[in-house]
C-alpha cells in the first residue's frame, strides 16, 4: 500500500519528460496541426484558381496533327483498272485560335469572383488558426489546472499518510482511540481514490493537447507556464470597434456579399452580346503508291488552308430564364445582407456576454484566492491541533474537505478568468496578434 501511494505521489519519477511552454505549444500546433495544414492547402488551391485564364480573358490555342496509312490490295480484282497494291499516306496538321473579346463584362466579374473566393479561403485559414490557437491555449492551461489539482490531492494524501503513521503510533501506545485511527485511514483511502481519478484526468488532458498539436498521443510534457491570471480592464466601446473591424465571422459574411454582387454582374452579362474571333490553318499532304505507275506520274499532293471568323451572338429571347435568374441572385444578395446584419448582432451579443462574464470572473477569482488562503491557514492550524489532541479526526476531516474544495475552486476560478480573456481576444480578432 505504501509503495502504491508513493507511485501516486511521485509519478514523474517513472518517465522522461520534455519541458513545454505555451508559446512552444502554439509553435508546434502551427506546424503540425492537421486542420491548419488542410486549410493551408485549400488556400493554395484558391490562389492557383485566381487567374485571368479561369476568368475567360485569354485565348484558347489548339494544335493537332495526324498521320494515316492505308493499303488497298487490287491485284486479284479482275474488275479493277489498276490491279496493284495501292498504298496511301496522309499527313494532316491543324492550328486553331479562339478568343472571346467581349461577353458583357462577365470576364471582369469572374475575375472579381475568383478574388473573393481567394479572400474567403484566406479568411477561413485565419479562422482555423484562431480556433487552433484558442484550443491550444485552453488545453495547455487545462493540463496545468489538472496538474495543480493533482498536486493538491498529492499534498493531502501525503499529509494524511504521515498523520496515519503518527496516529498508528499513538494508538499502539494507548493514547489514541481506534475510532480516530480508522477515521484517518478511511479519509486517506478516499483521497487516494480521488487521486487515482485525478491522475487519469491529467493524463487525458495531455492526450487531448497532443491531438491538437499533432504529436504522438503518449508524448509527455513538463508544463513550464502557470495559468495566466493577469487582470486587464477593457473598454467595451474599444472591444466593439475591434470586433466590427476584425472579427473573422463578420469578415466572411462580408465576402459572401461581394460574391453575390459578382453573381448579379454575371447575370446581367447575359443581356449583352458575345463577340469572339476564331482563326486557324490546316495543312494536308497525301502520297499515293500506285505500283509501276508511281515512276511516271506525280503521286504527292499538298494543301494549305487558312480561315478567320468573327462572330457576334445575342440572345433575344429565352422564355424569361435570364430575368428569373437575375431576380433570384438579387434576392440572394438581400439574403446575404440580412445575414451580415444578423451575424454582426449575434457577434456583438456574444461580445457583451463574454465581457460581462470576464468582469464577473475577475471578482470571483479574487474572492476564491482569498478563500483558499484562509482555508490553507485553517487546515495547517487544524492539523497541528489534531496532533496535539485539541480537536478530533472528524473535525479535522471537515476542515480538510473545505481546504480541498476551496483549492479546487480557486484553481478553477483562475482557469475561468483566463478562458474569458482568451474568448475576448478571439471574438475581437486579436488572438493571432496576441500570441
Q: Quick one: CA torsion of 315, 321, 322, 325, rounded to 10 degrees?
A: -160
Q: Is the pLDDT of residue 326 over 60?
A: yes
* Residue 322, pLDDT above cutoff 90: no
Say whether 1 sits in a helix, a strand or coil. Answer: coil
**Mean pLDDT across 313-320:** 84
- 399 vs 380: CA distance, rounded Å: 10
Please give the sequence-ordered ranges of beta strands (E in DSSP) within 114-272, or none if there are none. Answer: 221-223
Give me Rg for the CA atoms of the chain: 40
Instruction: State mean pLDDT over 253-277.
Output: 90
Range with the poorest average pLDDT among 63-77, 154-168, 285-299: 285-299
The string of pLDDT tens digits covering residues 386-424 is: 878 788 888 888 999 999 999 999 999 999 999 999 999
d(Cα 184, Cα 245) in Å, to the nearest integer? 60
What distances in angstroms separate CA 189 from CA 165, 197, 201, 239, 382, one per listed residue? 14, 13, 19, 50, 20
DSSP string, 278-319: EEEEEEEEEEEE-GGGGGTS--EEEEEEEEEEEEEE----ST
* Percentage of residues in the chain having pLDDT higher than 70: 89
Give per-residue pLDDT as tens, 340-381: 999 999 999 999 999 999 999 999 999 999 999 999 999 999
422 C-beta neighbours (distance < 10 Å), count? 21
Q: 33-47, 80-94, 382-396, 406-420: which has the minimum mean pLDDT? A: 80-94
Res. 79: pLDDT tops 70: no
Quote the CA–CA distance of 420 and 435 in Å, as a whole number: 16
310 or 172, greater pLDDT: 310
H helices within 92-105, ranges in order?
none
User: For residue 406, which phi and psi values (nearest 5 degrees)?
Assistant: -65, -40
Coil, helix or strand for 422? Answer: helix
Strand order in the sheet with 300-313: 60-73, 85-102, 274-289, 300-313
Ordered DSSP codes for 60-79? EEEEEEEEEEEEEE-TT-TT
Rounded to whole angstroms, how far apart are CA atoms 152 and 172? 30
pLDDT at 392: 83
Max distance between CA atoms of the chain, in angstroms, equals 139
Return the pLDDT at 175. 66
Distance CA 330, CA 192 (A): 67
Pick from 330, 212, 206: which is nearest to 263 by CA?
A: 330
Please check the confidence at residue 235 and state whether its pLDDT lies above 90.
yes
CB 56 within 8 A of CB 110: yes
Q: SS3 for 429?
A: coil
11 CB burial (10 A radius; 0-12, 13-18, 19+): middle
Q: What domains does the chain contain, in order, with CATH numbers?
A: 2-32+103-273+318-434 (1.20.1600.10), 58-102+274-313 (2.20.200)
pLDDT value at residue 13:
46
pTM score of the predicted model: 0.82
| Alpha-carbon distances, residue 255 vs 111, 118, 232, 261, 426 (angstroms) | 14, 10, 33, 10, 20
201 vs 179: which has the higher pLDDT: 201
Position with higher pLDDT, 6 vs 114 = 114
Amino acid at each position: 500500500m505504501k509503495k502504491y501511494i508513493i507511485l501516486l505521489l511521485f509519478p514523474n519519477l517513472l518517465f522522461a519528460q520534455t519541458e513545454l511552454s505555451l508559446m512552444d505549444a502554439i509553435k508546434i500546433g502551427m506546424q503540425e496541426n492537421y486542420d491548419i495544414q488542410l486549410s493551408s492547402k485549400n488556400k493554395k488551391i484558391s490562389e492557383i484558381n485566381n487567374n485571368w485564364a479561369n476568368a475567360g480573358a485569354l485565348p484558347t490555342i489548339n494544335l493537332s496533327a495526324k498521320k494515316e496509312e492505308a493499303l488497298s490490295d487490287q491485284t486479284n480484282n479482275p474488275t479493277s483498272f489498276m490491279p496493284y497494291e495501292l498504298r496511301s499516306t496522309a499527313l494532316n496538321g491543324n492550328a486553331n485560335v479562339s478568343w472571346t473579346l467581349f461577353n458583357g463584362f462577365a470576364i471582369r466579374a469572374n475575375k472579381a469572383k475568383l478574388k473573393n473566393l481567394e479572400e474567403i479561403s484566406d479568411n477561413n485559414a485565419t479562422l482555423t488558426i484562431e480556433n487552433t490557437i484558442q484550443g491550444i491555449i485552453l488545453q495547455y492551461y487545462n493540463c496545468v489546472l489538472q496538474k495543480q489539482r493533482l498536486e493538491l490531492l498529492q499534498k493531502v494524501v501525503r499529509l494524511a499518510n504521515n498523520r496515519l503513521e503518527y496516529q498508528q503510533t499513538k494508538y499502539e501506545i494507548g493514547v489514541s482511540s481506534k475510532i480516530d485511527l480508522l477515521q484517518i485511514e478511511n479519509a486517506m483511502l478516499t483521497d487516494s481514490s480521488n487521486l487515482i481519478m485525478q491522475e487519469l484526468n491529467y493524463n487525458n488532458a495531455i492526450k487531448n493537447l497532443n491531438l491538437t498539436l499533432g504529436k504522438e498521443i503518449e508524448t509527455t510534457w513538463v508544463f513550464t507556464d502557470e495559468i495566466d491570471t493577469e487582470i486587464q480592464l477593457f473598454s467595451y466601446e474599444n472591444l466593439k470597434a475591434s470586433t466590427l473591424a476584425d472579427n473573422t465571422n463578420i469578415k466572411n459574411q462580408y465576402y459572401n456579399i461581394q460574391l453575390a454582387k459578382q453573381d448579379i454582374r454575371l447575370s446581367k452579362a447575359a443581356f449583352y452580346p458575345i463577340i469572339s474571333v476564331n482563326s486557324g490553318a490546316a495543312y494536308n499532304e497525301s502520297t499515293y503508291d500506285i505500283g509501276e505507275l508511281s515512276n511516271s506520274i506525280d503521286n504527292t499532293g499538298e494543301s494549305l488552308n487558312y480561315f478567320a471568323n468573327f462572330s457576334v451572338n445575342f440572345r433575344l429571347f429565352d422564355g424569361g430564364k435570364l430575368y428569373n435568374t437575375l431576380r433570384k441572385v438579387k434576392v440572394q444578395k438581400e439574403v446575404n445582407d440580412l445575414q451580415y446584419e444578423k451575424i454582426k448582432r449575434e457577434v456583438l451579443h456574444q461580445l457583451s456576454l463574454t465581457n460581462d462574464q470576464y468582469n464577473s470572473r475577475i471578482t470571483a477569482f479574487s474572492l476564491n484566492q482569498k478563500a483558499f488562503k484562509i482555508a490553507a491557514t485553517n487546515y495547517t492550524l487544524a492539523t497541528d491541533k489534531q496532533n496535539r489532541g485539541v480537536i478530533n479526526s472528524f473535525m479535522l476531516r471537515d476542515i480538510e474537505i473545505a481546504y480541498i474544495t476551496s483549492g479546487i475552486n480557486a484553481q478553477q476560478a483562475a482557469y475561468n478568468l483566463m478562458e474569458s480573456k482568451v474568448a475576448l481576444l478571439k471574438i475581437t480578432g486579436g488572438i493571432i496578434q496576441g500570441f
